[in-house]
Structure 1
Amino acid sequence: MYGMYYSWWDPTYFLVIIGAVICLIASARVKSTFNKYAAYRSMSGMTGAQAAQRILNSAGIYDVRVQHISGNLTDHYNPANKTLNLSDSVYGSTSVAAVGVAAHECGHAIQHQKEYLPLKIRSALVPAANFGSALAWPIIVLGLFFTSNTGNLLIHIGILLFSLAVLFQLVTLPVEFDASARAVRILGETGILNSQELPYTKKVLGAAALTYVASAAAAILQLLRIILLFGERGNDRD
């Protein structure tokens, strides 16, 4: 059984394939949904950048700079330098899709202002998650070259490190869901989008949320594969 796991092919590869397919489907859906509603011009005529600035100001946030970045759907809020970065397809677009994405990023800025606990936890996990995802596999592979006790310890450390990356993905979910909920509520309260336009934005943000669910699912499947491959190494060697 142990030899089967270390051949060029083993049954656990299906977990990786399933995770990759889930992520591809989610990515394709968010792109198609965004493109569909990018054709719907908002009645207010506000661009993504203008909507973002208005939302920030309405929330009493004046120290966050809205700026343009290149790329498609590369939008993000950077709490380190308090910049709200909007991509080519959002910054100057007047579509309901662009306004929705801009409002979502404003949701993160508002979370930062209000010290939203899941966001604080996610930010604190960033170094550990990056460290874990980068070193998990090298440490696990290194453990295969040592005798049982030392090797098992290294493998278990590698699994723990990868678990930190999975934890980061899980904590990301409530952060993203909350930002989307805030976006929809604020867009309605400020009148930037009317009652007919809000359902379109909900569909765009809902599709975007699925990409985070897919990433979390893929990470969990990868962790499960690592545990199946190496978690019982000591029992196999004894």
Structure 2
Amino acid sequence: MFYPYGLFDPTMIVLIPAIIFTMYAQGKVKSTFAKYLRVPARRGFTGVQVARAILDKNGLQDVPIETSPGSLTDHYDPRKRVLRLSGEVYQGNSIASVSVAAHEVGHAIQHANGYVPLSLRNVIFPVASFGSSAAWFFIIGGLLIPSMAGLMDIGILLFGAAVAFQVVTLPVEFNASSRALTLLDAHGFIVDEERKGVQKVLRAAALTYVAAMASAIAQMLRLILIRNRRR
């Protein structure tokens, strides 16, 4: 980022709380996941067994389950209607494995049921993806060419799509986590004593989405402050 008023941009202060929160959230999810990855679920089901059983019980026999390389790369792809689980979740029979697997199945059920926030997020995604990248060309252009300050306004509007995506993501993720706990309970994949561990895993994961939203909003506020200062 270019700073026309010197090497230090005072508006960076706006980002500091969000950066600290993001670092905390990332550390929390990694430590919580690692902790409960070492705690076997008493029923002994693996992540893929849990996912397959819940999908089938909800009429989603046609949704395949694939392995995804890396750690914490688990996701449901609504475009291809495929559930992808990392190796440690796919093969693991830990509290973390069954929790994450059930959470991702929650997204598949949302998709099948036409859950409105998920549908809205899917519509926003291509715009947000383009906006988050293209925005910086307009913003930097507006900073470098003072006579074309209007470029910053365009950039801020484009970045707004990325912010909207993060805001809509929250209810989608919280709902998937709520479904996960209910599904694990209802189908007997966990015992009562394991509920607290499942909740901790799901809450830690949700915290990363809260942090992502906070960071996007903070960056948006910072851009507005930069624009206003230049006028």
> Are residues 1:212 and 2:209 paired?
yes
Partner of 1:185: 182
| Pairing 1:1-238 to 2, within 5 Å after superposition | 6-146=5-145, 148=147, 151-233=148-230, 236=231
For residue 232 of structure 1, report the CA deviation from its aligned partner: 4.8
Counterpart of 2:210 in structure 1: which amino acid? V
Give the whole-Å Cα distance in 2 for the aligned partners of 1:103 and 1:231.
46
For residue 145 of structure 1, report the CA deviation from its aligned partner: 4.4
For residue 68 of structure 1, report the CA deviation from its aligned partner: 0.9
Q: Is the 8 A contact 1:44 1:192 kept in 2?
A: yes
Give the whole-Å Cα distance in 2 for the aligned partners of 1:231 and 1:127.
29
* Per-residue deviation, residues 14-65 of structure 1 (Å, max 9, x unmatched): 2233322211110100111111111211111110011100110111111110
TM-score where L is the length of structure 1: 0.92
Change over 3 Å in CA distance of 1:182–1:196 after alignment to 2: same
Aligned residues: 229
SS at match of 1:12: helix
* Per-residue deviation, residues 176-221 of structure 1 (Å, max 9, x unmatched): 0000000000100000111111221011000100000001001111
Structure 2 unmatched ranges of 5 or more: none
For residue 147 of structure 1, report the CA deviation from its aligned partner: 5.5
Structure 1 unmatched ranges of 5 or more: none
TM-score where L is the length of structure 2: 0.95
Change over 3 Å in CA distance of 1:66–1:39 after alignment to 2: same
* Per-residue deviation, residues 128-154 of structure 1 (Å, max 9, x unmatched): 101111011110121234464xx2321
CA RMSD of aligned residues (A): 1.4
What's the % identity of the aligned pairs? 48
- Greater mean alpha carbon deviation, residues 224-233 or residues 69-78: 224-233
SS at match of 1:219: helix
Give the whole-Å Cα distance in 1 for the aligned partners of 2:46 and 2:168.
31
